[in-house]
Amino acid sequence: MSPSRRHQAGSRQTLVQALVAIAAAGASYAWAMGIGPPAVARQLAAPEAMLVRALLDIGESRFTSALERIDSLLLSNPNFRLAQLVKGDLLLARSRPINSIGNASGAPSDQVDGLRDEARARLARYQIETPREFAPRYLLQMPQKQKYALVLDSAKSTLFVFENSGGAARYVADYYVTVGKNGLEKLRQGDKRTPIGVYHVVSQLPREKLADFYGSGAFPINYPNEWDRVRGRDGYGIWLHGTPRDTYSRPPRASDGCIVLANADLDALARILQIGSTPVVIADVLDWARPGEVEALRTDLLTSIERWRHDWESRDTEIYLRHYAGKFSSNGMTLAQWSAQKRHVNASKAWIKVQLSDVSLLLYPGKEEIAVATFEQDYASSNLSNRMKKRQYWIKEGGRWRIVYEGAA
């Protein structure tokens, strides 16, 4: 574990103990015991906060208080199924002893298991500390026009929202989310997984055009992205969306790959999302860093991009082509085809001028070193000029950053 993640370690330790207790007590309410508040508490949404307090009450055998909280929660959110389940347990506990969560007889076990998972996830979320000094490593550079970035931590069933505060990512909120039934790392159509990677919100589907299943709205993201396509990944229709009328939330792993939020949370997101520019970084476990800790990496990448731009302007095509990786591709073109075309085109130019602006720089989650650069490119030359939004995927090859994909964003 890197030092940068250390601030999360304390809460993780308690959670591990809690999970051990679950295993020992057969998924009993024992796991609510010993869970204390995090050092730097966050403000949970009211329904979630009430549910968590009720679960903590149960852990400390304050059943009357727990039931009062649950009843009051169900008054405002009668479709909160986990709360209904806990209510059932609390009532049943008055007539006979219970030793596990979800004592409904004859209930489908997968449904009960899903709600148990949600209870655990909600309690684990309660323990998350406000990330004040830390931000996910992935948010290397946010351009001024991009106001927010979303980062999904699948291990914590949490979608974090970061605000662009003078170029630095500052935590503003987080929401409980549901991901794919089979977890993360989507590869194929129908594998019921949520992709891992760097994505962007590409459009908005209003409630009126959607079935009730998607709740208060939907925001498709660009899966499969250019890098996914290069690697032959398929499938489509990965959205951020809401919940149907009959349920406040869904278990942590329940979707076909979409990222599902409570409608109130989706509505809050809808107010800040910028179609086409808000990034959505999806990770299994988040890698956190202090801003200073990624500065060297950021500089390294920005320098690589600047050299590429400069070498392009120089019209020294062989030097320019050194910025491209061996397995480079662009819309079906191999590096050899790309190189041939560039040599031909550049030879006809008397001069080239390239200006970049609004550079967004995001690091890919996972072990592989991949960065995604998105920017406005203003290209002018002796015989052709154009403006475009461009996206490049950079990988570490032979000790330096090289472009593995380039194309219009």
Partner 1 sequence: MSRLQTVALGAALLVLALQCGLASADNYDEASRLFKQGNNAAALEKIEAAIAANPRDARARFLKGLILTEQNKPNDAIKVFTALTDDYPELPEPYNNLAVLYASQGQYDKARKSLEMAIRTHPSYAIAHENLGDVYAKMASEAYDKALQLDRGNAAAQTKLAMIKDLFYSSVVPGKGTPQTGVTEATTAAPPTPDPKDKKPPLTPPGPSKAETGAVLAAVNDWAKAWSAKDANAYLAHYAPAFQVPGGEPRATWEATRRDRITKPISIEVTVGSPKVSFDANGQAIVSFRQGYKSDTLNTSGAKTLVLTKNNDRWLIFQERMN
Contact flags string 231-270 toward partner 1, x per CB under 8 A: ---------------xx-----------------------
Task: Name the burial class of residue 129, with classes exposed (0-12), middle (13-18) and buried (19+) by CB atoms within 10 angstroms of its CB.
Answer: middle
Work out whether 103 is an interface residue with partner 1 (CB under 8 A).
yes
SS3 128: coil
Closest approach, Cβ 68 to partner 1, in A, equals 14
Work out whether 122 is an interface residue with partner 1 (CB under 8 A).
no
Q: Which of 10, 37, 78, 276 binds partner 1 (CB under 8 A)?
A: 78
Q: Which of 32, 50, 56, 82 binds partner 1 (CB under 8 A)?
A: 82
SS3 326: strand
SS3 114: helix
Q: Which of 6, 94, 132, 322 binds partner 1 (CB under 8 A)?
A: 94
* DSSP-derived secondary structure for 28-59: -GGGGTT-PPPSS-----HHHHHHHHHHHHHH
Task: Name the burial class of residue 36, with classes exposed (0-12), middle (13-18) and buried (19+) by CB atoms within 10 angstroms of its CB.
Answer: exposed
For residue 168, give the H/E element and its range: strand 168-176
- The neighbouring-strand residues paired with 324 are 403
Encoded tokens for 311? 């070498």
Contact flags string 39-68 toward partner 1, x per CB under 8 A: ------------------------------
Single out the segment in contact with partner 1 by CB under 8 A; choices: 79-87, 197-205, 349-357, 394-402: 79-87
Closest approach, Cβ 28 to partner 1, in A, equals 17
CB nearer to partner 1: give 32 or 289.
32
Total of residues contacting partner 1 (CB under 8 A): 25
Work out whether 111 is an interface residue with partner 1 (CB under 8 A).
yes
Residues 6+ apart with CB under 8 A from 315: 346, 349, 351, 352
* DSSP-derived secondary structure for 338-403: HHHHHHHHHHT-S-EEEEEEEEEEEEPSSSS-EEEEEEEEEEEESS-EEEEEEEEEEEEETTEEEE
Q: How far apart are CA 354 and CA 161, in angstroms?
A: 33
Work out whether 91 is an interface residue with partner 1 (CB under 8 A).
yes
- The neighbouring-strand residues paired with 391 are 374, 407
Work out whether 115 is an interface residue with partner 1 (CB under 8 A).
yes
Work out whether 88 is an interface residue with partner 1 (CB under 8 A).
yes
CB nearer to partner 1: give 96 or 271.
96
Single out the segment in contact with partner 1 by CB under 8 A; choices: 12-20, 103-111, 163-171, 225-233: 103-111
Q: How far apart are CA 196 and CA 178, in angstroms?
A: 14
Contact flags string 195-234 toward partner 1, x per CB under 8 A: ----------------------------------------
Closest approach, Cβ 194 to partner 1, in A, equals 24
Work out whether 112 is an interface residue with partner 1 (CB under 8 A).
yes
Q: Are strands 288-289 and 168-176 parallel, antiparallel or unpaired?
A: unpaired
Q: Which residues bind partner 1 (CB under 8 A)?
A: 78, 81-85, 87-92, 94-96, 102-104, 107-108, 111-112, 115, 246-247
